[in-house]
Structure 1
């Protein structure tokens, strides 16, 4: 065993990667639907750190990992975050989550005078109860000790399992029966124009009368398919190719226009053919559909955008992202040029701009150094919270001239999950010795304190969502996920409430609550120093 200890302590990079590997093995262990996921890396790191006290990698390694995690979160959820700040639903959701965070923070601070905890230990418990690694980093950077990591590591399991258990109990108590919605898929209908009131109208005039969520992708006239021009004058027996993700809209269109005539267009592709391409070129990524310019002499229509597992009806405001699969109608002779325009490279879905990442992350770090005066508290620096804010803004902007700030979803997930894993491994190894020393002296008391903070966070958030704002259960589940923060909780919520609402709630709440938790501990530490 001494030889293994020496190996760990003399080869910190080997120890770090071994911790990551063993952590994910442990994280996959599932007990009645509950698993720790990447959080298990922290506990393996604690065990290895306790066994080999001098094995910790440099702290800069962990800081870099957390930077990658926060930057990826901000870039992906920028649009949803700002929507949450402006919409009525988003404001209510953020208000509920803020009250939950404040409740947990007050309980954690009360542990200091009531039970004699150190401030960094109580704030570490607060960070662990909210499973917020960024909050932990803020406390560690300011307090210069191991107490925060110890409190975090004790509270983290409760921060993951507690909300999951509560969601299960709430779902059973409220008898919430939520069925998974059907996947959004673009459907088409060929409709022969027979309504005399519409004959002679220009196509631009017809569009304003169509049902919402429906578009006309092509027109067949005199045995030829063509793209609909704004000044096209409609004739009797024109066949219109209508598309929508809602079959009811297609039925409404058929009743308005005339009658269904399936097969008259799809079986004739000599004029227009359908092709699906990957969006991977800078010429289109980050642009709204209305701003995409096709090469001279090439006429084409975007009839479908598939992002992830869902179809999206094209609208002029829809912004293309790397990896989107775009459905086009065009003449076969133009397909090669269109593929060049869009890139059509599956490799591009895994590539990212290190120039954009470098500029964005550097700007965030610089903003985090700026001292901000807060009345009654003093001057505070946001640190990595500022980086998250900058990333959220860039995620909202998406593109500035030649700089594409967004990343392919696959690359984003890999980058931020790797960063989070490295951070947890480094913190766990470096905090292992102090963790075991603390548990040996405090026994089960830290476990009880952690449970109290987690209950305050989850119960206050759930109470405000369900009984004050009267949110539907699936919406409330998303808010609870965003307030608590751990992706494992979101995964469980998606099983309990299999709609898109938990994902939307998480996206709106998680970034702002990460910032709220960091600000809470920054203010608490500033007041303690004053």
Structure 2
């Protein structure tokens, strides 16, 4: 059986993926490993025969490239706007990584571990591509891979425990923005009792509320550019519950005559799937919805997240926009937005291949630094950084960089599981050979203790800074650099701040880890 698996690496990989998926569904207290099940089953199966992990380097690289590039695209759209909030969290991450390197080397020396053990453990517990730099710095020492193999699952387990304990917390995040997913969006009909210019309505100028239906003198119309609101108008107000409440309190009171959206003879609404290539990568403010359709866009649904349609919101393929238009223009709206599942499910292989190629080229650039240190982003951080840049740009001329949400999520999950399965198979023999020895116990202790120290610094820093527990969790996942921890956090809470913070600290953390892992062995 082992000979057959060794001769058929694709079969072995699929076996690990399927059994890992089964393990990932089993609940262990507050934990459910999810995608990380592939890592642990890879360790188990790979331990039976060293041949099972051979020849998987290309597959592992493909997995991590797909994951990092798709995460970069998703995080890039919010990274720039969130940078003011996250720079202090990034500083806390740098301090945490430095403290971990110092503590790991100190504990390693006290316990008699070699610098190669410590360097491998540092790269492993932080699940970092810095293992390549560590291997080079230690001249290919076997101790480096042993430290990596033992510390890697240690980082996954500790990371998931921390996420399970923190991600659902509601500590004060005074300097953080409120999650769009958490705030939610409501639509309430307001009975206007005073004449008011739209710019006077709280939240209208900064687009925290929007109007769609307007009933005046018994006629229904779309609320767009109609001058001031008049007494006895009824208007539909859309936004977060608090913002809508403030706007209605200013204008009058909630209507007792029923919801305007039930009156669909003259004005109608519908969710349209954005599949037109002419709209992708453009902001809502750039569209001619008022002119072409005589309507307004009030909401955009992206994945599981419903967002208010602000003018600066950039549309991505697969978004579902809620548009309010005159009833006789519904078919025109279908043509305008595309509304085609078939078109949006197709991958733009040109832009995806070009983006990943740019990421790999960026990752392959080696910069010599003082002290003989050589720095390169590698096949993980390179695609992530380039993905974040392209995700922030959305489009460059005819090139549309964003992927449809469902396609992005599928590629990300597939890449993650392939990467973890390949790592497990390759690390299984080294893990088994040392896991139950005194040296193995020392490595696990050093890696675990240093990670706990780094965790305390990052989470305490985030709380003192005034960031939410959800952004802190995403930052911690990026600090550890473990894709499975990000997936675990996203499975626990639907919050866009998690992914934004992950992208920021993963990219920065990778750079710092590559440098520090070479300092550890000196």
Asked if residue 407 in structure 1 is aligned to residue 398 in structure 2, the reply is no
CA distance in structure 2 between the partners assigned to 1:220 and 1:455 by the alignment = 60
Asked if residue 30 in structure 1 is aligned to residue 33 in structure 2, the reply is no
Asked if residue 195 in structure 1 is aligned to residue 187 in structure 2, the reply is no
Are residues 444 and 361 of structure 1, via their aligned partners in 2, closer, same or farther at CA, if it must alter by over 3 Å? same
Asked if residue 65 in structure 1 is aligned to residue 63 in structure 2, the reply is yes
User: Please, which moves more after superposition, 301-310 or 229-238?
Assistant: 229-238
Asked if residue 480 in structure 1 is aligned to residue 471 in structure 2, the reply is no
CA distance in structure 2 between the partners assigned to 1:488 and 1:58 by the alignment = 19
- Does the aligned pair in 2 maintain the 1:244–1:250 contact within 8 Å? no
User: Please, which moves more after superposition, 281-290 or 182-191?
Assistant: 182-191
Are residues 412 and 297 of structure 1, via their aligned partners in 2, closer, same or farther at CA, if it must alter by over 3 Å? closer
Give the structure-1-normalised TM-score. 0.84
SS at match of 2:28: coil
Asked if residue 186 in structure 1 is aligned to residue 178 in structure 2, the reply is no
Deviation string, structure 1 residues 26-84 (Cα, Å, up to 9, x no partner): 23222111233322322322333332222323411211111111101111111333344
Cα distance, 1:7 vs. partner?
A: 0.3
Aligned position for 2:504: 512
Aligned position for 2:445: 448
SS at match of 2:435: helix
SS at match of 2:154: helix
Are residues 296 and 91 of structure 1, via their aligned partners in 2, closer, same or farther at CA, if it must alter by over 3 Å? closer
Are residues 473 and 19 of structure 1, via their aligned partners in 2, closer, same or farther at CA, if it must alter by over 3 Å? closer
Cα distance, 1:361 vs. partner?
A: 0.8
- Does the aligned pair in 2 maintain the 1:27–1:36 contact within 8 Å? yes
CA distance in structure 2 between the partners assigned to 1:260 and 1:487 by the alignment = 48
Cα distance, 1:226 vs. partner?
A: 2.5
Structure 2: give runs of 5+ residues left out of the alignment: 174-178
CA distance in structure 1 between the partners assigned to 2:249 and 2:517 by the alignment = 65
Task: Give the aligned length.
Answer: 508
Cα distance, 1:105 vs. partner?
A: 2.2
Are residues 490 and 362 of structure 1, via their aligned partners in 2, closer, same or farther at CA, if it must alter by over 3 Å? closer
Aligned position for 1:383: 378
Are residues 78 and 422 of structure 1, via their aligned partners in 2, closer, same or farther at CA, if it must alter by over 3 Å? same
- Does the aligned pair in 2 maintain the 1:83–1:508 contact within 8 Å? no
Give the structure-2-normalised TM-score. 0.85
Asked if residue 522 in structure 1 is aligned to residue 514 in structure 2, the reply is yes
User: Structure 1 residue aligned with 2:4, among 2, 7, 11?
Assistant: 7
CA distance in structure 2 between the partners assigned to 1:524 and 1:182 by the alignment = 38
Are residues 515 and 492 of structure 1, via their aligned partners in 2, closer, same or farther at CA, if it must alter by over 3 Å? closer
Superposition CA RMSD, Å: 3.5
Are residues 376 and 264 of structure 1, via their aligned partners in 2, closer, same or farther at CA, if it must alter by over 3 Å? closer
Deviation string, structure 1 residues 84-133 (Cα, Å, up to 9, x no partner): 43x1x312222222222222222233455444544453233223322x25
Aligned position for 1:203: none
Aligned position for 1:209: 200
Asked if residue 90 in structure 1 is aligned to residue 86 in structure 2, the reply is yes
Are residues 312 and 472 of structure 1, via their aligned partners in 2, closer, same or farther at CA, if it must alter by over 3 Å? closer
Are residues 147 and 76 of structure 1, via their aligned partners in 2, closer, same or farther at CA, if it must alter by over 3 Å? farther
User: Structure 1 residue aligned with 2:412, among 413, 416, 428?
Assistant: 416
Structure 1: give runs of 5+ residues left out of the alignment: 199-205
User: Structure 2 residue aligned with 1:394, among 390, 395, 417?
Assistant: 390
CA distance in structure 2 between the partners assigned to 1:478 and 1:223 by the alignment = 50
Cα distance, 1:418 vs. partner?
A: 1.4
SS at match of 1:306: strand
